[in-house]
Amino acid sequence: MSGGRFEGALDGNVLGGPLGEAFGVELTASRVACAACTRVAVVADLVVYDAGPGWVALCRGCGEVMLRVARLRDEVVLDLRGTGLLRVAV
Amino acid sequence: MVQSRLGWRRAQLVARRDESPTAVTLVLGVPGWPGHLAGQHVDVRLTAADGYSTQRSYSLAAPDHGARVELTVQVVTDGEVSPFLARDLAVGDPVELRGPVGGWFVWRPGQPQRALLLAGGSGVVPLMAMVRARHESGSAAPMHLVYSVRTPTDVFYAEELRQRSDQDYGLRVTVVHTREAPAGAERAAHRLDAADLAALVWPEADDVLTFVCGPTAFVDAVSDALVSLGYDAGAIRTERYG
Amino acid sequence: MDIVTPGFRGRARDSSQHLPPGQYLVHDFPVLSAGPTPYVDTDEWAFTVTTETGERRTWSWRDLMALPQETPTVDLHCVTKWSKLATTWRGVSLDVLLEDVESAADFVLARSYGGYTTNLPLEDLLDGQAWIVHEFDGEPLAPAHGGPARLLVPHLYLWKSAKWVNGLDLLTDDEPGFWEQLGYHEYGDPWREQRYAGD
């Protein structure tokens, strides 16, 4: 965790709503690995910016984009290219 | 396993009560509410007569009480939603609610660990749900709420927190003032810092589950300070309000 | 059908102005960002146009300030539905910047400090339709609003007006940018309500 570097950012807790809409299950407790640096975090702990058209989630370790979520008219679109693995407890 | 719900539900205002000069608790009746855990939040949607709509997220302030939920809304000056919710929404009027949302920032009764709760201002809301849930469950697992506020008048749930800390075995509540301390206070008002935390929190951090909630700067600074005191970063759960 | 909350009015909105479909007029200036605000010193600032053949032209801050300046007054339309009218800016027209650039490209990918990108047709940057702006409302453009300089293309939705712009790639084939990759419209005309691909 770093101070100041991500000032004003939210965290992955705010993705609970749109991800829950898309997948029908709660995902903030799921673990994701950063494709750039392999750091593993729970979704709740990602650094998140609400950009308007959608949300951008960064790796708290290296700052690279892990996830982008856009809420379109009838779809939630996810760009998961920055995420190596998603582990969902069932 | 807690599931988040997809759809918007109709909710209506049942009652409101003031928590501080700038914060109001809304009691909402939500038919069919699926229940929730302390720490979770809801999305609230308001639609105007011309079709314009907007959403905000609010933490649930009370534990699961069936079809009745509570939110504590901090009024943001010139805000679009909070002044309306706090003052203008009339008893009986509807809003839409979605949730509960969140499966990480939750406290479950029966969790054996000691719980350290750190609240920055309005970040106390989901942590109060945890204090209340612990009380209602009869849990004896130690819980310490460290609640950072600017001035004594900014404290939410003041009377109830006094009662809870007097009556609930194993619960400790510490209020820390950052701008103005009460008359005669030992600690002069200043921002919660690493030295404060070192004096307040459990030194052995192994079986402590920590929850930090509030503005981003508060959450980041407190989390870093706890890690430097030997707390495991993986056992610190955070919720940032931006 | 959304449930209406009686008495809820929301942010001050004015329906008397003629706005693109689905938009609401606001009087503040919301700050929305896709990442941390970059803080770029004008001593280090550079703007680079790269053509489809790989040729590059770069302007420093001093170069930008030495070019003819314009003070456009324009309306802004954000895809999140707010519109802000008659905003005043100061900057350099893309007609001036691209005047001596030889290119047969039809498309542009605008790039920003911090990694943001957005795409649009090259012709939409020309003929007085776009600027690299560095002042808003008479003051140096604040970092939160895209300073030191941003792209301004007001006839398209505001996500095309890349904050913290640092270059343009001129391309023969259209390449989707940051939000376009997720399904936002490749063109983005607010008057035809082109918010999402396929609109």
CB contact under 8 A, A9 and C34: no
pTM: 0.92
Confidence bin at B2 (pLDDT 50/70/90): very low
- pLDDT of B194: 93
CB contact under 8 A, C10 and B46: yes
CA-to-CA distance for A14 and A46, rounded, in angstroms? 10
Q: Please state, as a whole number, how many other Cβ atoms lie within 10 Å of the Cβ of residue B63.
A: 24
Chain A residues in contact with C36 by the CB 8 A cut-off are 5-7, 9, 49, 63
Confidence bin at B3 (pLDDT 50/70/90): very low
- For residue C12, the chain B residue with the least C-alpha distance is B80
What pairing do the DSSP bridges indicate for beta strands C150-152 and C131-136?
antiparallel
- Give the start-end residues of each E strand in chain A: 10-11, 31-34, 40-42, 47-50, 54-58, 65-71, 76-79, 83-87
Task: State the average pLDDT over residues C137-145.
Answer: 96
pLDDT at position A33 over 90: yes
- pLDDT of A2: 38
- pLDDT of A1: 36
Instruction: Tokens for B94, please give them.
Output: 């509807």
Q: What is the mean pLDDT of chain B?
A: 94
Least confident span in B2-6, B67-71, C23-27:
B2-6
Q: What are phi and psi of B182, to 5 degrees?
A: -65, 155
Domain residue ranges in chain A: 10-87
Size of interface B-C (CB pairs under 8 A): 51
- pLDDT of A4: 66
pLDDT digits (tens, 9 = 90+) for B149-172: 999 999 999 999 999 999 999 999
- pLDDT of C164: 98
Interface of A with B in 14-43 (CB under 8 A): 14, 16-17, 20-21, 24-29, 42-43
Amino acid identity at C82: W
Instruction: Tokens for B225, please give them.
Output: 């300070």
- pLDDT of B5: 47
- pLDDT of B206: 83
Confidence bin at A52 (pLDDT 50/70/90): confident
pLDDT digits (tens, 9 = 90+) for C72-100: 999 999 999 999 999 999 999 999 999 99
Interface of C with A in 40-69 (CB under 8 A): none
pLDDT digits (tens, 9 = 90+) for B205-238: 789 999 999 999 999 999 999 999 999 999 999 9
pLDDT at position C69 over 60: yes
* Domains by residue range for chain B, with CATH: 8-101 (2.40.30.10), 114-240 (3.40.50.80)
- The CATH number, out of the four listed (3.40.640.10, 3.90.420.10, 3.30.70.1290, 3.20.20.140), of the domain defined by the range C42-68+90-192: 3.90.420.10
Cα of B210 to nearest chain C Cα, Å: 27
Q: What angle do CA A54, A56, A58 make, to 5 degrees?
A: 170
Max alpha carbon distance in chain B (Å)?
A: 57
CA-to-CA distance for C73 and C66, rounded, in angstroms? 21
Amino acid identity at C163: K
